[in-house]
Amino acid sequence: MVRIDNPSDGTFSVSYIVTGPFAAAGCTAGGGWDGMLAPHSHCDFSVVYDPLVAGSDVGSITVVATGGAQHSVTMTGVGVDSIPPTPVPSVVPTVGPPTPVPTVSPAPTVSPAPTVSPAPTAPPSAAQTPIPPQRFVDSTLPTVTGVERIVSSGQSIQAAIDAAQPGDAVTIQAGATFSGKVFLRNKPQTLMTRFLGAVGLAKPKVVWIRSSAWDMLGAPGTRVKKTDAAKLAKLTTSGETTMIAEIGASNYYVTGLEITTSWSVNSPDNSWGLVTLGLDPNTGGSITTLAGLPDNIVFDRVWIHGTVTGSNRRGITVNTRSFALVDSIIDEIHSMGFDSQAIGGWNADGPIKVVNNELSASGEIAMWGGADAAIANLTPTDFEFRDNWFHWLSEWHGPVPSVGDPGSSNWNGSNWSLKNLFEMKHGKQMIISGNLFESWWASGQVCPLMITVRNQSGTNPWATVRDLRFEKNIVRNIGPGTCMFNMFGQDSPPPSGGGTSQQTVRVQFVDNYVDMRGTPAMQYAFRILGGTDSTWIEHNTFEMDKDSALLGLDQGHGPNTAMIYRNNIVAMGRYGIACSGVGPGNPSLAQCAPGVDFRGNLVYGPYPTSGGSAPSALSNYPGNFYPANLAAVGIDPTTHLLVPTSTWKSKATDGLDSGLVTPSK
């Protein structure tokens, strides 16, 4: 047990960072804990040793006050050997490493590589809930304490940024267009700013790059609209990265910009992103020190987009420490012959905040992983995805409006290279809440939402996906495909994978609404490829067609341990619950999810008389209910809760209704 005390008469913002093979959770405080310590209060929390390998190891816990004042304590522990699951070939497509961006001279920095808490070496005996994010990004508007530098049409944005100091504003004429690449320079904070931050009196000053009409875009929390274009300052290039950060460039806040390109060629040769954070501008490679990663970068009410016909790699490359994207739009990000993302990274630390945005891209709209981290033991940590709209464009069904060489097996002959709406390959401590995922169909991949741990190129054996909570989201207008959610327990060695990874652990799906009607080719609500631990699926409502089933399992990396599938509304479908190589129903759960808590579910029909999907196929798991069909369940078409007259009210194991707890939006 560790205690943080505040013996003073003032209130302080406090966080803690645990490194090495340790994990912390369960913080409470005498004066209340929400990231602040009240006068004369304290915070008590437990720290556990959580090693990757046998033997002794060392880590630390660092307490950080507002502005950066910190104190560290060294910890030691001793681990024992675990028995890893037997690796088998992976069936999840891989993503190639990123392609370098154009070069400029970097600003030198030096920093030691960080350590992070690894995944458990052995599964727990009972399902565990995810550890929530421990660090959050403050994306509130900055205050201008220095000079406002006005940039009018025809003047140089770069000159204003080069001259600006932390606390200054670079105010760019709204409605004007500025051509040429813009560099975010490495600008160390002044001694006074560092001192004020260290004693908790001020957060770091930023260079605020903004449109002259930024205050006409609506209050923070209002998503920018494309019709706001006249209020935005437009930055563009003719075919290269439009905005790029130098090594170590930190403390920038960007408001009210349109960041785009005039590139309109559909060509697999285009490999750049529109905003690049965390690649070495000199070599195009990943940065190899934590201090070299950009830090405290916020994009607020911006519109980042490509052209209708042009291919490009990424909207924002987020290889950073602290980063936020709020109230913004990223669209027309698409490519052929390689993957593209609206937002993503692979060599990031965190925290990362993505809140209230409209996001669209043809490859994976948002993805972390897909290439190996270049900083030893670095795992992207502390994600916050809230209230975003993830979607594909309907016109992507048709031919790309340009002629080019497909150049990739992902190419389907008539479209951009299409994959999924969201994929997490390497990360931990994530909250994914209140988002809308829609307008997807199978192409390069067969499931729209992917949790697929990857040691992509074989140099990140610490790669893991752990501590993820997916809650209060809506998924609709999906299919056809194989599954709605695809999970992967562990990566495999070559040739089928990049290399052995850590296990996927503590993933929770709670209180989500999924509309799978009209997609008869969607086989399963969930497909879980073996070897996960503490997968928790509870209080979700799935409105599904008769051929869609509730769970597909696989034994690839061993059984899925400590699984909960409880209090959901879901269709039995053609096969109900099926695991590869095992009969459906009772034997599938017994062998592929031993000890599963499968109760309180409303599993509706119609029930085929063959294929093992009748209610009797789950006779070993009492405490579930079997309405004749979806209509017999009684779901309100607006809230998607059970109607007051439903026969199935209060049947959940916790005394609530099965299915949603919170009305869907």
Same-domain pairing of 54 and 172: no
- Whether 326 has a pLDDT exceeding 70, the answer reads yes
Asked whether residue 362 is domain-assigned, the answer is yes
Last residue of one domain, picked from the residues 48, 79, 110: 79
Q: How many residues appear in the chain?
A: 665
Looking at per-residue pLDDT, the higher value among 572 and 122 belongs to 572
Asked whether residue 123 is domain-assigned, the answer is no
Compute the mean pLDDT over every residue in the chain, rounded to the nearest whole number: 83
- 600-622 confidence digits (pLDDT tens): 999 999 998 766 788 999 999 99
Average pLDDT for 423-431: 97
Highest mean pLDDT among 42-56, 397-411, 442-456, 629-643: 629-643
Looking at per-residue pLDDT, the higher value among 192 and 231 belongs to 231
The residue among 27, 21, 31, 19 whose CA lies nearest residue 2 is 27
Which residue is it, tokens 């007259």?
Answer: 645
Cα–Cα distance, 554 to 541 (Å, whole number): 23
Counting the structural domains of the chain, the total is: 3
Task: Give the pLDDT band (50/70/90) at residue 416.
Answer: confident
First-to-last alpha carbon distance for the chain, in angstroms, is 41
CATH code (residue 361): 2.160.20
What is this structure's pTM? 0.80
Same-domain pairing of 193 and 296: yes
Task: Give the pLDDT band (50/70/90) at residue 103.
Answer: very low
Q: Which residues contact 180 (CB under 8 A, 6 or more apart)?
A: 158, 237
- Domain housing 399: 146-435
Same-domain pairing of 419 and 503: no
Looking at per-residue pLDDT, the higher value among 50 and 44 belongs to 44
Predicted pLDDT of residue 201: 61
Planar angle of CA 97, 245, 337, nearest 5 degrees: 30
Question: CA-based Rg of the chain, rounded to a whole angstrom?
Answer: 25
Same-domain pairing of 398 and 497: no
Cα–Cα distance, 278 to 283 (Å, whole number): 12
Predicted pLDDT of residue 79: 53
Which 3-state string (H, E, C) describes 609-620? Answer: CCCCCCHHHHCC
Predicted pLDDT of residue 380: 97
Token readout for 415 is 């479209």
Same-domain pairing of 272 and 176: yes
Asked whether residue 128 is domain-assigned, the answer is no
Predicted pLDDT of residue 407: 36
Predicted pLDDT of residue 312: 87
Token readout for 408 is 């990739």
Same-domain pairing of 509 and 431: no
Q: Which residues pair with 421 in a beta bridge?
A: none
Among the residue ranges 341-345, 411-415, 467-471, the one predicted with the least confidence is 411-415
Average pLDDT for 329-349: 93
Same-domain pairing of 521 and 644: yes
Same-domain pairing of 554 and 643: yes
Task: Give the pLDDT band (50/70/90) at residue 66.
Answer: low
Predicted pLDDT of residue 71: 66
Same-domain pairing of 317 and 411: yes
Asked whether residue 468 is domain-assigned, the answer is no
Q: Look at the alpha carbons of 95, 101, 105, 107 in this order and tell me if their dihedral is positive or negative.
A: negative
Same-domain pairing of 267 and 344: yes
Look up residue 605 and give its amino acid.
G
- 194-206 confidence digits (pLDDT tens): 555 555 566 889 9
- Whether 100 has a pLDDT exceeding 60, the answer reads no
CA 514, distance to chain mean position in Å, is 19
Residue 108: CB atoms within 10 Å = 10
Determine whether 224 is exposed, middle or buried from the number of CB atoms within 10 Å of its CB (0-12, 13-18, 19+): buried
Task: Give the pLDDT band (50/70/90) at residue 30.
Answer: very low
Looking at per-residue pLDDT, the higher value among 61 and 619 belongs to 619
The residue among 528, 534, 464, 535 whose CA lies nearest residue 501 is 464
Asked whether residue 7 is domain-assigned, the answer is yes
Please confirm whether the linkage preceding 97 is cis (ω < 30° from 0). no
Cα–Cα distance, 418 to 446 (Å, whole number): 10
Cα–Cα distance, 344 to 327 (Å, whole number): 17
Predicted pLDDT of residue 554: 86
Predicted pLDDT of residue 220: 95
Last residue of one domain, picked from the residues 404, 435, 466: 435
Task: Give the pLDDT band (50/70/90) at residue 349.
Answer: very high
Predicted pLDDT of residue 80: 42
Same-domain pairing of 425 and 487: no
Asked whether residue 470 is domain-assigned, the answer is no
Long-range contact pairs involving 22-25 (C-beta distance under 8 Å, separation at least 24): 22/47, 22/48, 22/49, 22/50, 22/59, 22/61, 22/75, 22/77, 22/117, 23/47, 23/48, 23/50, 23/117, 23/131, 24/48, 24/61, 24/134, 25/131
Average pLDDT for 253-274: 85
- 509-536 confidence digits (pLDDT tens): 999 999 988 765 678 899 998 899 999 9
Residue 161: phi and psi, rounded to 5, are -65, -40
Asked whether residue 398 is domain-assigned, the answer is yes
Asked whether residue 138 is domain-assigned, the answer is no
Last residue of one domain, picked from the residues 62, 79, 96: 79
Token readout for 266 is 């559909």
Task: Give the pLDDT band (50/70/90) at residue 351.
Answer: very high
- Whether 293 has a pLDDT exceeding 60, the answer reads yes
Predicted pLDDT of residue 115: 36
Cα–Cα distance, 164 to 347 (Å, whole number): 28
Looking at per-residue pLDDT, the higher value among 197 and 363 belongs to 363
Average pLDDT for 166-184: 97
